[in-house]
């Protein structure tokens, strides 16, 4: 009999859980729900419950394809019943798109199973890397866009999210790494980096998301730099879709749907 491994626990029933964090669009004085990012967590009370530890373990084991599929399936199952039908942003490793030739078919089948239009999916590419199979990666992007999926690139400004990657992928959504967002109101160098990404995105026909916003001053700074898509604890913390509205019996994300938590001075 095979010894049960931590990977079995991750992929087994109840091994993965999904939290959602809103991404908001700022339109004048209005805060509009733009999308919900699905955030995976490992088995409860295990040493891989944290997302960072979970995916570092998965990458070491070379099991990105299996775990990415499991996370996405759970995210779509949960997100398909959210009132208002917001876009659902799901994370996928670049290596999964290279190594999984049936990924697009899997995504379509999963969305069909849960009666969710595939056009609601935003695929957020994480852990970009030097391509081992460049053709397979770009073929996958072509197939995904052909069925209406939007592409986002995560962690822009660090790692392998180079200008070459941005130009070649041409994502619809550019997610600036929180390294540049945190305390950007007081860091001229961070503001300069943000401005350059905003300019590049506009020239490539994309939009920028500032993630990791935790203070009013940083929120005001990124919006003054031309960013109107925002995410972070300043607005809402990740939440499990467990609350039930007894009048509709449909899962909801917040007891007061999609309200922001940000406070103005003196409030």
263 within a domain of the structure (yes/no) = no
Please tell me the predicted confidence (pLDDT) of residue 2. 57
2 within a domain of the structure (yes/no) = no
Please tell me the predicted confidence (pLDDT) of residue 262. 63
Please give the sequence-ordered ranges of beta strands (E in DSSP) within 127-228, or none if there are none: 150-156, 173-176, 207-210
262 within a domain of the structure (yes/no) = no
246 within a domain of the structure (yes/no) = yes
Helix 51-61 to helix 64-79 angle (10° resolution) is 140
3 within a domain of the structure (yes/no) = no
- Tally of domains in the chain: 1
72 within a domain of the structure (yes/no) = yes
Determine the structural domain holding residue 199 and report its residue range.
Answer: 21-252
**Threshold 0.85, pTM exceeds:** yes
Please tell me the predicted confidence (pLDDT) of residue 45. 86
Per-residue pLDDT of the chain (267 residues), as tens digits, is 456 788 888 988 888 999 999 999 998 888 888 999 999 999 998 889 999 899 998 988 999 999 999 999 999 999 998 888 889 999 999 999 999 999 999 999 999 999 999 999 999 998 766 556 788 999 999 999 999 999 999 988 776 556 778 888 999 999 999 999 999 999 999 999 999 999 999 999 999 999 999 999 999 999 999 999 999 999 888 887 644 332 333 333 333 344 456 655 444
Identify the H or E element spanning 164. Answer: helix 163-169
What is the rounded distance in angstroms from the CA atom of residue 74 to the CA atom of residue 66?
13
Residue 157: which CATH number? 3.20.20.450
Which residues make beta-bridge pairs with 37?
Answer: 21, 89
259 within a domain of the structure (yes/no) = no
91 within a domain of the structure (yes/no) = yes
Judge contact between 250 and 81, C-beta under 8 A: yes
What is the rounded distance in angstroms from the CA atom of residue 236 to the CA atom of residue 258?
8
Residue 31 phi, psi (nearest 5): -115, 110
Please tell me the predicted confidence (pLDDT) of residue 128. 60
Buried b (16+ CB within 10 A) or exposed e, 161-177: beeebbeebebbbbbbb
Judge contact between 64 and 6, C-beta under 8 A: no
């Amino acid at each position: 009999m095979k010894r049960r491994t931590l990977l079995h626990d991750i992929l087994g029933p109840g091994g993965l859980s999904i939290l959602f964090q809103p991404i908001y669009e700022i339109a004048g004085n209005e805060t509009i729900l733009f999308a919900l990012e699905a955030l995976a967590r490992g088995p409860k009370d295990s040493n891989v419950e944290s997302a960072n530890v979970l995916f570092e373990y998965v990458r070491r084991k070379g099991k990105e394809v299996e775990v990415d599929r499991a996370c996405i399936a759970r995210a779509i199952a949960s997100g398909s019943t959210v009132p208002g039908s917001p876009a659902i942003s799901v994370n996928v490793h670049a290596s999964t798109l290279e190594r999984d030739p049936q990924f697009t078919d899997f995504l379509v089948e999963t969305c069909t199973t849960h009666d969710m239009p595939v056009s609601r999916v935003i695929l957020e590419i994480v852990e970009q890397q030097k391509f081992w199979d460049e053709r397979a990666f770009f073929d996958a992007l072509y197939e995904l866009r052909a069925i209406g999926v939007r592409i986002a690139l995560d962690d822009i400004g660090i790692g392998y999210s180079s200008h070459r990657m941005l130009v070649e992928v041409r994502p619809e959504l550019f997610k600036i790494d929180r390294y540049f967002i945190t305390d950007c109101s007081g860091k001229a160098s961070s503001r300069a980096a943000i401005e350059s990404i905003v300019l590049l995105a506009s020239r490539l026909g994309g939009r920028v998301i500032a993630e990791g916003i935790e203070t009013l001053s940083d929120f005001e700074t990124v919006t003054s730099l031309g960013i109107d898509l925002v995410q972070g604890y300043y607005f809402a913390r990740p939440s499990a879709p467990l609350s039930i509205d007894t009048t509709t019996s449909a899962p909801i994300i917040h007891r007061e749907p999609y309200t922001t938590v940000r406070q103005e001075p003196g409030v």
